Structure 1
């Protein structure tokens, strides 16, 4: 929760700096977002490669639980396509690109800004931060109403890190490996799906 609020704070600070021209050059006309994206992708690869225990834990999973991240991806993208029916000024591809961030706001918003512009990138940032915050706040209710796998699916790509503690607290420690696996798969799918929908 604290991390999400810090991200929102930096976003608000960036808006203020842009509004009052605090920074003397136009960042949008530079390649800084591309290099930031490269640094983020390097960090993701580094964190996965640096933790062999995570890969070992995947082997102990119930084979049926492999379908959980697949259903999360299909459900999220389908729901985003349905939401586009309520937003006539946004295409289904735009909405699915935002949904395909799966809570990974830092990466997806940069991709979408690069492909579709700052407006949709901002929507992606806020939408995916909101997904993480809702999971953090509503995990106990999700477990009570929909079962132990509900907060994992709701958390999307965040279930391997920021929402993992609340998920294990509410659903049980036995779901920790499932949560990490789910977060790993959805996390890995973000750059491919976001760029795919942005290119449609």
Structure 2
């Protein structure tokens, strides 16, 4: 929860700096976001590859739970496509690109800004931050109303890191491996799906 609020605070600070022109305009016209994206992708790969328990944990999964991240992806993209009907100025591909962030706001918003511009990139950032915050705040209600897998699906790509502690607390210790596997698969799909929908 604290980490999410820090991210929101930095986003608000960035908006204030932009409105009052506190950062030189030339900096925003450079390739700094591209280099930041490259560094971010390297860090993600390093963190996944550096965990010796990753393969061991995946092998212990119930085979039926392999389909959980697939259903999360399909459900999110279907909902994003349906939401596009309420926004005639936005195509279904744009809305699905935003949804394909799956809570991975730092990566998806940079991709979408590069492909579609800062407006849709900002929408993606806010949408994916809200997904993470809702999971953090509503995990106990999701478990009570929809079952132990609900907060994992709601968390999207964040279930292997930021939302893992809250999921473990309310869904139970036995769902830790499921949560990590789910987050890994959904996380891995983000760059491919976001760039695919942005290119349509």
What TM-score range do you get, normalising by the shorter chain? over 0.9
**Matched position secondary structure for 1:52:** coil
Aligned residues: 200
In structure 2, the partner of 1:134 is: 134
In structure 2, the partner of 1:106 is: 106
Give the CA RMSD over aligned residues. Answer: 0.8
1:138-157 equivalences under 5 Å are 138-157=138-157
Distance in 1 (alpha carbons) for counterparts of 2:172 and 2:6 = 28
Structure 1 spans left out of the alignment, 5+ residues: none
In structure 2, the partner of 1:86 is: 86
Kindly provide the CA deviation profile for residues 61-113 of structure 1, in whole angstroms up to 9, marking residues without a partner as x. Answer: 01110000000000000000000000101000000000000000000000000
In structure 1, the partner of 2:40 is: 40
Kindly provide the CA deviation profile for residues 128-179 of structure 1, in whole angstroms up to 9, marking residues without a partner as x. Answer: 0000010011111111111110000000000001111111111110000000
Query: TM-score scaled to structure 2, two decimals?
Result: 0.98
In structure 2, the partner of 1:68 is: 68
Distance in 1 (alpha carbons) for counterparts of 2:162 and 2:79 = 23
Q: Which segments of structure 1 move beyond 4 Å, counting only runs of 4 or more?
A: none
Distance in 2 (alpha carbons) for counterparts of 1:52 and 1:83 = 40
